[in-house]
Amino acid sequence: MAKITVKDTEITIISFEEKDYISLTDMVRNIENGLALIEKWLRNKNTIEFIGIWEEMYNPHFNSPEFEGIKNSAGLNRFILSVKQWIEKTNSIGIIAKAGRYGGTYAHKDIAFEFASWVSPQFKLYLLKEFQRLKEDEQKALGWTAKRELSKINYHIHASAIKHNLIPAELTPQQIAVIYASEADVLNMALFGKTAKEWREANPDLKGNIRDYATINELICLSNMENSNAVFINEGLAQSNRLIKLNRIAIQQMSVLQEVENRKLLKS
């Protein structure tokens, strides 16, 4: 579930069958007699035709015969149709009703944008803008998480090289922990210019560690450096020499990644 704010109106977005559904109830919450607008819109013949076409395209269980009956009756003075009736009669998936804390009428984004147009073209444009911003933020977060997980995977390669090359069998667990921390700080120094302890001392109010606050580009670089350091360890290079090599790798790769990012910004 997510929330966006459109024209001072907070609107809930939920996931239903892995698709985005936007609350129509929230859209009209700040409009006088707003809830009545949803059923007024639903009784519109053009609305029914649009939603029916959408359902036939995406809903294999849509009750088309029942839909035809509703469409033929639309426009008559005696025609009445509630959200509940529409869902029950047609087996709709484009419009759904939810109970509970975040209850109300929700519609697939394709249909929700049509409703927004009917309410106000201006409102629809602001809704589209905020929805797109939400999707972009989600993609950025997904990318960051993916790179963070990649770093964790490559950590195991790095740790294996340390274990088999730098840790004698007679060491105590405390001594082993010091070696692992020392090698992690080789990467930290090469990329960030400071150790984990130095970062914590400089940022006492932040939770987590230095890598939790890294950018996507830094995480990509860090992942590559873990593999490189594992190779250097297996080759028997001294830590001081590895630090110099890793710092050069960090500078070169961060420069390339920044250049790629700048080109993307220019294109957009």
Which contacts of 32-41 are long-range, i.e. CB under 8 A and separated by 24 or more positions?
Answer: 37/119, 38/83, 38/105, 38/115, 39/81, 39/82, 39/83, 41/115, 41/118, 41/119
What is the rounded (10 degree) CA torsion for 180, 249, 218, 267?
-170
Please give the C-alpha separations between residue 225 and each of 71, 186, 188, 229, in angstroms, as whole numbers: 63, 10, 10, 6
**152 shares its domain with 198:** yes
Other beta carbons within 10 Å of 240:
8
| Nearest-angstrom CA–CA distance, 223 and 32 | 55
**148 shares its domain with 255:** yes
**174 shares its domain with 217:** yes
**9 shares its domain with 84:** yes
Give the residue among 75, 6, 13 at the shortest CA–CA distance from 46. Answer: 75
Is residue 132 included in any domain, yes or no? no
**72 shares its domain with 166:** no
Is residue 135 included in any domain, yes or no? no
**252 shares its domain with 145:** yes
**171 shares its domain with 241:** yes
Per-residue pLDDT at 211 exceeds 90: no
Give the residue among 1, 21, 2 at the shortest CA–CA distance from 134. Answer: 2
**52 shares its domain with 152:** no
Is residue 226 included in any domain, yes or no? yes
Is residue 125 included in any domain, yes or no? no
Q: Tokens for 60, please give them.
A: 């294999």
Is residue 147 included in any domain, yes or no? yes
Q: Count CA atoms within 13 Å of residue 33 on its CB side.
A: 4
**Beta sheet of 95-98, edge-to-edge order:** 2-6, 9-16, 19-23, 104-108, 95-98
- As a whole number, mean pLDDT of residues 119-132 equals 91
Per-residue pLDDT at 145 exceeds 70: no
Q: What angle do CA 149, 216, 247 make, to 5 degrees?
A: 100
pTM for this entry: 0.55
Per-residue pLDDT at 268 exceeds 60: no
- pLDDT tens for 63-120 read 999 999 999 998 888 888 999 999 999 999 999 998 877 789 999 999 999 999 999 9
User: Is residue 58 within 8 Å of residue 49, measured between CB atoms?
Assistant: no
Structure confidence at residue 1 (pLDDT): 81
- As a whole number, mean pLDDT of residues 190-198 equals 93
- As a whole number, mean pLDDT of residues 50-56 equals 94
Q: Tokens for 22, please give them.
A: 């936007």
Of 72, 89, 119, which one is at a domain's C-terminal end? 119
Is residue 200 included in any domain, yes or no? yes
**234 shares its domain with 201:** yes
User: Is residue 240 within 8 Å of residue 211, measured between CB atoms?
Assistant: no
What residue spans of 59-172 are helical by DSSP H? Answer: 64-73, 83-90, 109-119, 121-165
Structure confidence at residue 264 (pLDDT): 67
User: Is residue 259 within 8 Å of residue 252, measured between CB atoms?
Assistant: no
| Structural domain harbouring 164 | 140-267
Is residue 54 included in any domain, yes or no? yes
| Nearest-angstrom CA–CA distance, 2 and 13 | 5
Q: What percent of the chain has pLDDT over 90?
A: 53
State how many domains the chain has: 2
**35 shares its domain with 77:** yes
Is residue 202 included in any domain, yes or no? yes
Of 85, 119, 153, which one is at a domain's C-terminal end? 119
| Nearest-angstrom CA–CA distance, 126 and 97 | 24
Q: Are strands 2-6 and 9-16 parallel, antiparallel or unpaired?
A: antiparallel
**144 shares its domain with 257:** yes
**153 shares its domain with 90:** no
